[in-house]
């Protein structure tokens, strides 16, 4: 494990979930549960910062302590896990912008299929692959049909998702950023060619920075963990950051330190070392 330079005792730990805090079987190990509780007991807040929607947070909801907050949908939502995932803040993707992104990607990458994550639920085109059988969502004839509602009408759009069956994941992301990067924030966290598209400037980093500012916490007082491209901005923003041993190359380049893989409790390893240093 490569240590990161940490000039002061941290006030907040920000951790991704899948591939980072969670093991590959989506469990939270007993060691990690104990480390999170010990950090909170020591006065260090823990924020879960994830691409997941609020309805997928039950796996960690019991491990959010005093504040109860989590940042979901890559920064598009702040929710209260103590209150069933109640939405506290939304940073939506405006529907006209989402329509422009759909048009750009249909032209640049024929065969792209789309899904839409709103505050009211999940909707996808018939040809969009059933990536998660437990979350089938509502089928719509085309993304354009759902998105043609006037701005402000209907539930806010938290994420547009785009999938391609043939392009490699990083190649698809590069192509999409070339053709639609001026319209929205594009990233990915899946091992498949699935892109996650948020409003311009919306990211894990942007919303984490807002939450920290509300608490008078500076970037220098934050320790962050991640493994995929959607974590890069957060890792660059935080004063101290760790890439998991299983991380994407872009994450390894962005983080100031490295820890062991998610299946080896890499987040807990670092938290235990931080707490040892505080004694």
CATH number at residue 163: 3.30.1240.10
Q: Is a pLDDT exceeding 70 seen at residue 190? A: yes
pTM of the full predicted structure? 0.92
For residues 69-77, average pLDDT: 95
Instruction: For residue 190, tell me if it sits in a domain.
Output: yes
On the question of pLDDT at 274 being above 90, the answer is yes
Summarize the confidence of residues 102-128 as an average pLDDT: 94
Q: Other C-beta atoms within 10 Å of 272: how many?
A: 16
User: Is residue 3 included in any domain, yes or no?
Assistant: no
32 within some domain: yes
Domain end marker among 198, 216, 239: 198
Is the per-residue pLDDT at 264 higher than 80?
yes
Angstrom distance (rounded) from CA 267 to CA 261:
9
Confidence of residue 7 (pLDDT cuts 50, 70, 90): very low
Total Cβ atoms within 10 A of residue 26: 11
Domains of the chain: total: 2
- The pLDDT value recorded for residue 1 is 67
2 domain-assigned: no
Would 160 be classed as within a structural domain?
A: yes
Is residue 62 very low, low, confident or very high in pLDDT (cuts 50, 70, 90)?
A: confident
Residue 151 has pLDDT above 50, yes or no: no
* Segment 139-144 mean pLDDT: 88
Averaged pLDDT for residues 202-210: 98
**How many residues comprise the chain?**
279
Give the residue numbers spanning the domain of 144. 95-198
> Residue 162 in contact with residue 176, Cβ under 8 Å?
yes
Q: What mean pLDDT is predicted for residues 161-188? A: 98
Average pLDDT over residues 19-37: 95
- Kindly state whether residues 114 and 146 are assigned to the same domain: yes
Q: Are residues 28 and 84 in the same domain?
A: yes
Q: Dihedrals φ, ψ of 129, to 5°?
A: -70, 145
pLDDT surpasses 80 at 215: yes
């Amino acid at each position: 494990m490569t240590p990161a330079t940490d000039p002061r005792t941290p006030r907040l730990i920000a951790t991704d979930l899948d591939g980072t805090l969670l093991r590959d079987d989506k469990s939270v190990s007993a060691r990690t549960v104990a480390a999170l509780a010990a950090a909170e007991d020591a006065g260090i807040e823990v924020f879960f910062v994830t691409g997941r929607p609020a309805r997928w947070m039950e796996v960690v909801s019991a491990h959010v302590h005093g504040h109860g907050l989590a940042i979901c949908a890559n920064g598009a939502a702040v929710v209260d896990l103590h209150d069933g995932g109640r939405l506290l803040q939304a940073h939506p993707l405006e529907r006209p912008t989402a329509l422009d992104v759909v048009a750009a990607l249909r032209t640049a990458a024929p065969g792209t299929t789309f899904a839409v994550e709103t505050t009211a639920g999940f909707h996808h085109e018939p040809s969009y692959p059933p990536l998660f059988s437990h979350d089938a969502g509502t089928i719509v004839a085309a993304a354009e049909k759902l998105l043609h509602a006037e701005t402000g009408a209907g539930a806010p759009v938290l994420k547009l998702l785009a999938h391609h069956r043939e392009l490699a994941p990083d190649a698809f992301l590069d192509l999409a950023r070339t053709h639609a990067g001026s319209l929205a924030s594009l990233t990915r966290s899946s091992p498949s060619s699935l892109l996650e598209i948020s409003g311009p400037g919306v990211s894990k980093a942007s919303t984490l920075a807002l939450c920290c500012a509300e608490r008078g916490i500076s970037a220098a007082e934050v320790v962050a963990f991640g493994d995929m491209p959607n974590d890069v901005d957060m890792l660059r923003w935080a004063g101290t950051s760790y890439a998991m041993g299983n991380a994407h190359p872009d994450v390894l380049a962005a983080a100031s330190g490295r820890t062991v893989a998610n299946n080896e409790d890499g987040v807990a390893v670092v938290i235990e070392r931080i707490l040892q240093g505080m004694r």
